Amino acid sequence: MLGYVRALNAIDEAMRVAIPSLEQLADVLDLARSRRISRSGHIGTYSYTVHGAGCRFVSGNGTEVDVDFEADGSGIFDLWRLRWYGLSLPEPLDVTDEDLRSAVRSLQPLLDEVRPGWFSVAS
């Protein structure tokens, strides 16, 4: 759980270094929609694929971080995204939904449930 949050923060930092005009990670969606960047490609050390309301980032070691974005640009994620993150780790971690829910509950108030089953890092 904390690994996902750390990975998301590392991606945010790497994207801001690679694209200095980026104010927040969610701006990748606007850049792709306006065709200033491709909907998929490489930025810095990550490959990315823009989809619907979010983006999937893959690091050089194959770790996947998929995140959706709210209208205000905040990143949100659900248990499915957390599970795929765990399975993509160099040493895969397969946990149950129950274990994920328990981990999320144990991290409140670090995490906010923004709508049923969807979470964001508290600001």
- pLDDT tens for 11-56 read 999 999 999 999 999 999 999 999 999 999 998 889 999 999 999 9
Name the burial class of residue 42, with classes exposed (0-12), middle (13-18) and buried (19+) by CB atoms within 10 angstroms of its CB: exposed
For residue 1, is pLDDT > 80?
no
Mean pLDDT, the chain, integer: 92
Q: Six-digit token pair at 3?
A: 């690994």
The pLDDT assigned to 44 comes to 83
Q: Six-digit token pair at 72?
A: 């205000």
Please state the rounded mean pLDDT for residues 72-87.
Answer: 94
42 beta partners: 47
Q: What is the pLDDT confidence band of residue 69, given thresholds at 50, 70 and 90? A: very high
Residues 6+ apart with CB under 8 A from 21: 27
C-alpha span between 52 and 122 (Å, rounded): 23
For residue 110, is pLDDT > 80?
yes
The pLDDT assigned to 86 comes to 95
H/E stretch holding 48 = strand 46-51
